[in-house]
C-alpha cells in the first residue's frame, strides 16, 4: 500500500496514521470548509487538501454542497479521531437531531485510516461505503491516486477510472 497523499498546494502527508477524510457542507460552505481545514492543521499539522467540488444534494432537496478531501497523519486511533471530528463538526453548528439526509454546516468522515477495515460506534466504518459517490471518490483520487483500497485491492485512481461518473466528474468550484 502506498501511504501518501499530496494536496493541491504541494503538501505531502505520509503514514503511518494516514487518514483520508471526506468533507462537505451546504450551509455557508466556503467558510465551514476553510475553517475545518484550519482546525485540522491546528491539531494535526500538515494537511493535504484536494480541490473543492460543487455537487447537488443527495437524498434530499437542498442547496448544493461543496466537497473536498483531506489527508492528515493522525496520532489518534480511528475511534478517537472520529470522536474528535464529530466535536469539530459540533463546533461548527452540526445538528444531529435532524434527518440524516439534510443540509449541514459541516460533515467530515474518515474514509480510510491506513489499511484498516473496521466498524465502531459513531457511524465509524472503514473504509466508508460512500465511495459510490463521485463527490467522495474524485477528491480522494486527486490527493492519493496510488492509495490501495484495502477491501477492493485497487488504487483510488483505478476506482475513479472505473466509476460510472468518470466521464462527467463533479463541477470544480472556483470560489
pLDDT per residue over 16-40, tens digit each? 999 999 999 999 999 999 999 999 9
Cis peptide before 16 (omega within 30 of 0): yes
pLDDT digits (tens, 9 = 90+) for 50-89: 999 999 998 878 999 999 999 999 999 999 999 999 999 9
| CA gap 12, 109 in Å, rounded | 20
pLDDT digits (tens, 9 = 90+) for 114-158: 999 999 988 899 999 888 999 999 999 999 999 999 999 999 999
- Of 74, 24, 86, the C-alpha closest to 47 is 74
- 21 neighbors 85 (Cβ within 8 angstroms): yes
- Of 156, 155, 123, 164, the C-alpha closest to 139 is 156
Which cell is 35 given?
475553517
Which pTM was predicted? 0.94
- 73 neighbors 18 (Cβ within 8 angstroms): yes
| CA gap 144, 70 in Å, rounded | 10
Q: What's the topology of domain 4-172?
A: Alpha-Beta Plaits (3.30.70)
Residue identified by cell 463533479 is 170
Amino acid at each position: 500500500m502506498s501511504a501518501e497523499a499530496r494536496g493541491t498546494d504541494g503538501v505531502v502527508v505520509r503514514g503511518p496514521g494516514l487518514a483520508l477524510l471526506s468533507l462537505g457542507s451546504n450551509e455557508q460552505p466556503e467558510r465551514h470548509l476553510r475553517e475545518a481545514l484550519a482546525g485540522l492543521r491546528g491539531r494535526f499539522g500538515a494537511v493535504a487538501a484536494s480541490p473543492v467540488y460543487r455537487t447537488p444534494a443527495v437524498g434530499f432537496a437542498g442547496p448544493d454542497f461543496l466537497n473536498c478531501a483531506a489527508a492528515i497523519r493522525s496520532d489518534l486511533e480511528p475511534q478517537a479521531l472520529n470522536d474528535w471530528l464529530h466535536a469539530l463538526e459540533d463546533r461548527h453548528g452540526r445538528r444531529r437531531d435532524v434527518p440524516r439526509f439534510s443540509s449541514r454546516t459541516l460533515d467530515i468522515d474518515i474514509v480510510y485510516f491506513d489499511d484498516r477495515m473496521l466498524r465502531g460506534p459513531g457511524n465509524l466504518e472503514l473504509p466508508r461505503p460512500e465511495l459510490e459517490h463521485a463527490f467522495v471518490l474524485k477528491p480522494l483520487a486527486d490527493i492519493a491516486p496510488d492509495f490501495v483500497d484495502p477491501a477492493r485491492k485497487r488504487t483510488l485512481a483505478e476506482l475513479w477510472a472505473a466509476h460510472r461518473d468518470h466521464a462527467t466528474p463533479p463541477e470544480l468550484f472556483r470560489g
